[in-house]
Structure 1
Amino acid sequence: MSQRLAGKVAVVTGGGRGIGLGITQRFLEEGARVAIVQRNAPDGSLLNEQAVFVQADLSSSADCAKAVDTTYSHFGSLDILVNNAGIMFEKTIEEMSEADWDQMMAINLKAPFLLTKRAMPFLRHRHRGSIINIGSIEGIGSNPGHPAYSASKAGIHGFTAAVAVDHGRDGVRCNAIAPGWINSDLSEEYINSLPDSARMRRELLAMHPVGRLGEPRDVGNLAVWLASDESSFVTGQVYVIDGGRTKKLPLPVS
C-alpha cells in the first residue's frame, strides 16, 4: 500500500505532544517529512532524517517567519502547514485582563496568520499546498469561562474560509479540524485533579455516542486525508471530530 504523503513536507506547530503528536506520527507513517515547531524540544525518539525540531516562540513574528524559512531550507520544499499549537485558560470576561485576551489571540489566532502568510509563497510553488488549522467545537459553542478561547477558535474557522476563498486559484487548500474531547497528558492531569475523577470519566463517556473519548491519532487520521491529494476538491471546510458529542441533546437528570 502506497504512502499517501510520500514526498511531501509538513510544518506541524506543537507537533510534539497531544493532538499535534498524533498528527506528526500519522504524517510520518504516511511518508511525509515533518518539522515540529514549538518552544520546547519534543521527545528525542521522534527525531530522525524524516523529522526535525525547529524551536520557535509562536508569539514572536520573527520566530514564526524563521520556523517556515528553516523548514524550507532544511527540506527544500513545503507542502503542508498545520496550525495546531494553542493555549487555553478559564476566565470569564470580568476575570480576564486585557493582557490575558491579547495572549490568547497572539498564540491561537495571530500565529496562524503569520505562519500562513510566510508559508504561502512556498505552498503556492507546486500548486498543491494544504493548510490545516486546528479549531475546536468551542468555535461553535462554548464551555463556561472560555470567552477568549471560543473567540479565538471561531476566528480560526472564519480565517480558514477566507484563506480558502483567496488562495484556491493558487492551488492552496485550507481546511479546519474542530476536535471535541481528545485524550492527552493535560486532559488526564485535569481529570485526576478533580475531587471525583471517576464520576467525571463516567459523565464524559456518556456525552459521546461512540462510547469512547477521542485520541490524538483520530485527529491525525483526518489530517492525513486533508493533507493528501485524496481531498483535492475539499477546501474551506470545518470538520467536527467529537464522537457525536455536539449532536447529542442532553436530557434532564433527576
Structure 2
Amino acid sequence: MMRFEGKTALVTGGRSGIGRAIAERLQYEGARVFTAQRGADPRFEGIEADLGDPDSPDQIVSSVVDRAGHLDILVNNAGMMQEALVEDIGLEDWQRNLTVNLTAPFLLTKAALPHLRQTRGNIVNIGSIEGLGSNPRHAAYCASKAGLHGFTRAVAVDHGAEGIRCNAVAPGWIDTELNMEFIASMPDPDAFGQEIGRIHPVARTGSPDDVAALVAFLSSDDAAFITGQIYTVDGGRMAKLSLP
C-alpha cells in the first residue's frame, strides 16, 4: 500500500529504535524520508543536528524543504530520559530534558507550520505512557511528555481549520536497543524479560514496528477525521490494575 507516494516526511531521531521503524514504515509506503539527529544516517536522507540547540529546528525544516520542495509529515520522535529524584535534579539537567523533549518539538512545529499549511499536512508527536503515569525517578521525563501531550491538543485545536492534524502516540515498554541493553544488564536477564512481559495483558513487550504502524495510520488520509488525540501503544499495560 503506497499511502505516502509523493509525500515528504521528517522524522527526528530516525536513526535508531522507534524512530528508525517509523522512517522505514513511511518509506516503505512511498514517502521520501528525512531524519534529523546527532550524527549521520546512512539509511535515509539524514540531517545532522543537535536538537538541544534552539537554532536547529529552523535549519532542519529549511534543509528538508530546500531539498524536497515541500513537507507533508512531521514526526517529533527524538527524546531523552534521565533518572533522578526531584531533589537531585539540577536546573541545567531539568532544562535539558525539557529542551529536547518539549521545546524542540515546539520549535520544529513552529518552523514546519507554514509548509504543512500548504500541503495540508500533519504532525505526530511521540509521547509516552509516562505522560499519563510515572515510573520512579522520572520526574523530568514525565513532565516533558505530559507537556508534549498537551501541546499536541493545542496545535490540533489552533490549526485544524487550516487542514493540519496533530496527534500523539504514547508508547509503553518497547524493545528498543536501549531497553534490550537494560534487560541484559540485569542479574537474570531471562527472568526479568519474562516478568516485564507478564505485566502486559497481551503477554509480551512491544516492538518498534508496533509504534510505527500506528504512526503511519495517523499520518495517512485514513485518519483524516482524527486530530488532537493521544493513543497509547502499551499492550494494555495502563489498563491493567495491580493485584490488591
Q: TM > 0.5 between the two?
A: yes
The one of 198, 201, 208 aligned to 1:216:
208
Cα distance per residue 1:31-51 (max 9 Å; x no partner): 001111111112x2x13xxxx
Match of 1:121 in 2: 114
TM-superposed deviation, 1:72:
0.5
Spell out the pairing of 1:173-212 with structure 2 (5 A cutoff): 173-212=165-204
Matches within 5 A, 1:73-222: 73-126=66-119, 128-222=120-214
Once residues 59 and 65 of structure 1 are traced to their aligned partners in structure 2, the CA distance between those partners, rounded to angstroms, is 13
**Residues in 2 aligned to 1:231 and 1:206: alpha-carbon distance in whole angstroms:** 32
- What is aligned with 1:243? 235
User: Is the contact made by 1:57 and 1:64 (CA closer than 8 Å) also made in structure 2?
Assistant: no
Q: Distance in 2 between matches of 1:191 and 1:80?
A: 33
* 1:15 partnered with 2:8: no
CA distance in 1, matches of 2:81, 2:17: 14
- Output the CA distance in 1 between the equivalents of 2:106 and 2:89: 24
Moved over 4 A (4+): none
Residue 227 of structure 2 aligns with an amino acid whose one-letter code is T
- After superposition, give the CA deviation of every residue in 1:147-183 in whole Å (9 maximum; x if it has no partner): 1000000000000000000000111000000000000
* Alpha-carbon distance in 2 for matches of 1:192, 1:136: 23
Identity of aligned residues (%): 52
Write the distance in 2 (CA, Å) between the matches of 1:119 and 1:170.
13
The answer to whether the aligner puts 1:68 opposite 2:61 as a matched pair is yes
Deviations 1:87-125 (A, max 9, x none): 001101011111110000000000000000000000001
Distance 2:167 2:192 in 1: 32
Contact 1:83 1:134 in 2 (8 A): yes
**Structure 1 spans left out of the alignment, 5+ residues:** none
- The CA RMSD over aligned residues, in Å, is 0.9
> Corresponding residue for 1:227?
219
TM-score, scaled relative to structure 2: 0.98
**Contact 1:181 1:242 (8 Å CA) reproduced:** yes
1:24 — aligned with what? 23
Separation in structure 1 between the aligned mates of residue 242 and residue 60 of structure 2, nearest angstrom? 44
Q: Report the count of equivalent residues.
A: 244
Q: For each residue in 1:15-42, what CA deviation from the matched residue of structure 2 results, as whole angstroms up to 9, or x when unmatched?
A: 1100001100100110001111111112
Residues 203-247 of structure 1, C-alpha deviations (whole Å, 9 max, x = no match)? 101011112111111111001111101101000000000011111
Q: What letter matches 1:66 in structure 2?
A: Q
Per-residue deviation at 1:196?
2.4
SS at structure 2 position matched to 1:94: helix
Letter in 1 for 2:110: K
Q: CA deviation digits over 1:41-84, x for unaligned, max 9?
A: 12x2x13xxxx011111111211110000000111110000000
Contact 1:5 1:224 in 2 (8 A): no
1:218 partner amino acid: D
Which letter does structure 2 place at the counterpart of 1:119?
Answer: A
The alignment's TM-score, normalised by the length of structure 1, stands at 0.94
Structure 2 distance, partners of 1:165, 1:132, is 14
